[in-house]
Structure 1
Amino acid sequence: MTDSKVHSNIIFSQQIDTELRKIVQKYPAGKVFLLTDQTAAGYCLPLIQAVLDEFSVKQIAIPSGEENKNIQSVGLVWDFLSNNGADRKSLLINIGGGMLTDLGGFAASTFKRGLDFINIPTTLLAQVDASLGGKTGFNFNGLKNEIGVFMEPNSVLINTNFLKTIDRENFLSGYAEMLKHGLIKSREHWDELLAYDMEKIDYDALQEIIAHSVAVKEWHVLNDLTEQNIRKALNFGHTVGHAFESYAMKTSRPILHGYAVVYGMIAELYLSVKQCGLGIGELNSISSWMINKYGKFEIQENDFEALYQLMTHDKKNEGQRINFTLIPEIGKVEINVDCSKELIIEALKYYKNCGLRDTSSEL
């Protein structure tokens, strides 16, 4: 077991029940609660059930899925806490994927102006991204994470045994955030990620790579908790990616978050060539690898305007500027890069044509 301390205590352990028991026993009897969703309840709770029974932890399971990351689900959690006597000395355990830890963190942060919470992420996406860094919230008016607060969990417990319960698509979705970390961190970490065999998963080796990936996010969070400066590096791929994700939901073609980030990274790599000097060969090589692994979310030119309008709602924007995080080379970032609408449309066109033919002529 290893600990890593930033604002949260991040614990990598194969003895998840032992670590959870150490935390729960610090709280008064009857003041520990658990939030999960219907999927995690069936697959993941058995790994910690003995601790839940030992301390008579009260539980609620909300509906699974991104479509349930809304104010109605938050209200269910608030009602549960209120009806069972939760107070500011209570603890809420969030166990599930990124949707659950985001929503549960928000509910805990706002109930009675804040009570302690810990995250036990059960998907790869949640382990390397969503459960870390203090961003909490829910979707509103068709926009991703439109309502939320910054609040760090007291602890995050990471155990790769939970990942044996997820399917390949969800594994790849989480791995996308690791790829992003590789691109903004170093060539060495990027190469490590490309070399890992995703067809034959070694969970022990994966835990070490996850620790490397988490360290990238930790550093950025430690140095800029509320995303005023360098933490914006973690948004690489997300300005376009969130637009893809929201548009996919609006058009009843939902895609997983990590897939949207991959597609966003392809478009933003194009912007990096145009604005920051990234090599054309690097762009085409990375894009080809990503399309090979992740396929595509198909768009047409008449979709471009709707995608652009979604980007204008991005939380990183300042006034009329759509701010991007771009990379002049692997391991280096430039934040707050302003791109014109014309250039953003060009990037969407590059993405649209990826995998169909040689797109280097469009540069």
Structure 2
Amino acid sequence: MQQIIKCGNITADTEQTIHTIRHDKLFVLTDEYTNRYCLPMIEGIPAIREAQQIVIPANDTNKTIENVIQVWRNLTQKGATRHSLLINLGGGMVTDLGGFAAATFKRGITYINIPTTLLGAVDAAVGGKTGVNFEGLKNEIGAFYPAEYVLIWSEFFRTLPQKEILSGFAEMIKHALIHSQLDLEKLLTFSANDIDYAWLNDMVHRSVSIKEAIVEKDPFEKNIRKALNLGHTVGHAFESFAIEAGKPVPHGYAVAWGLIAELYLSHRLCDFPKEKVQKTVRFLQANYGALPIGCDDYEALFKIMQHDKKNEAGVINFTLLSDIGNVKIDQNADKELIFEALDFYRDSVGL
């Protein structure tokens, strides 16, 4: 089972974790940014200094099969074996892509995730989902293959711009919605303009523990793990739509907008309380702005939703709520109601 370590000293904890895992060669995967700004924070470790380095382009638009091939090629050319160890040092793109490369190279090698973004810490690096985008669709190719260890060090978050903090925070809001009113109330007090990093650190580990408990019960998303898809059917459609338009948006922002639409569906289909929709939507609207879409874009968004991995027998599946902490998986909405939810999103964000 994946082990999550709350780091007090990133150098000591990384070194100890490396020594815990038997391996013949060590490889470190970074993107252009984490190679420059985050790798130096752990380069004092002799094993890291001696490791083979693999660097890929940054940003989610580069989460592609071509860059997985680049990682495979580096591993092959630099002598990796089935007993080698890969460290993914980066945000969600690096941990998703690196995890998929590890899952498939020589039918699977061991890897460690060290997320450097809030989104990576609370979402991508934890839970074992790996993958890349393909043909304009989010995470279309991938595998369930968890990291042996995930090392979370909150000091990385202090280097992030506000937009990156908010991107990760949207996933924390989702975790709170599927878990408890108390967790949600705490998060809705957050101010992105005056960040209390000690408080944020505590909330991050609380959020990770919520996800971890769900994944432990259902590692391959056959049942309750589908709870983690709240906001993602519409959110992934928004994200893919933006990528296709050449104007990519942060994953967490797309999830925030997806939550707005899916809370509306929760109200219509599962009687989720209207006042709780309004309170959560006010926070999301105030912090995440809007993806500019018009009614003419609904058909394209609907078509993207038809490719969602959660679908069965051609029916679009949603994870919805009847109340905070009361999850309803495998919910269906017809096209007309989905378009209503997109109307509600546009009205809520002022489009």
TM-score, length of structure 1 as denominator length: 0.94
Structure 1: distance between partners of 2:157 and 2:24: 30
Structure 2: distance between partners of 1:290 and 1:25: 43
| 1:98-154, Cα deviation, whole Å (9 max, x unpaired) | 000000001011101111000000000000010000000101000000000000100
Counterpart for residue 327 of structure 2: 333
Counterpart for residue 92 of structure 2: 98
| 1:201-221, Cα deviation, whole Å (9 max, x unpaired) | 222222211111001101110
Structure 1 residues 1-363: aligned runs within 5 Å: 7-26=1-20, 31-52=25-46, 56-356=50-350
Which letter does structure 1 place at the counterpart of 2:68?
A: V
- List runs of 5+ in structure 1 lacking aligned partners: 1-6, 358-363
Counterpart for residue 4 of structure 1: none
What's the offset of the Cα at 1:356? Answer: 3.3
Count of residue pairs brought into register by the alignment: 351
Structure 1: distance between partners of 2:177 and 2:195: 22
Structure 2: distance between partners of 1:23 and 1:84: 23
What's the offset of the Cα at 1:329? Answer: 1.1
Aligned Cα root-mean-square deviation (Å): 1.4
| 1:169-226, Cα deviation, whole Å (9 max, x unpaired) | 1110000000000111000000111123332222222221111100110111001001
Structure 2: distance between partners of 1:148 and 1:52: 33
Structure 1: distance between partners of 2:44 and 2:51: 10
Structure 2: distance between partners of 1:44 and 1:111: 25
Structure 2: distance between partners of 1:164 and 1:151: 29
What's the offset of the Cα at 1:29? Answer: 7.5
Q: 1:70 to 1:204 in 2, by over 3 A?
A: same
Structure 1: distance between partners of 2:133 and 2:292: 24
Which letter does structure 1 place at the counterpart of 2:233?
A: T
- List runs of 5+ in structure 2 lacking aligned partners: none
> Secondary structure of 2:188's partner?
helix
TM-score, length of structure 2 as denominator length: 0.97
Structure 2: distance between partners of 1:30 and 1:323: 44
> Secondary structure of 1:146's partner?
strand
What's the offset of the Cα at 1:30? Answer: 5.6
Q: 1:109 to 1:54 in 2, by over 3 A?
A: closer
Structure 1: distance between partners of 2:23 and 2:293: 54
Which letter does structure 2 place at the counterpart of 1:281?
A: E
| Identity percentage of aligned residues | 48
What's the offset of the Cα at 1:291? Answer: 0.6
What's the offset of the Cα at 1:279? Answer: 1.8
Q: Is the 8 A contact 1:43 1:165 kept in 2?
A: no
Q: Is the 8 A contact 2:24 2:83 kept in 1?
A: no
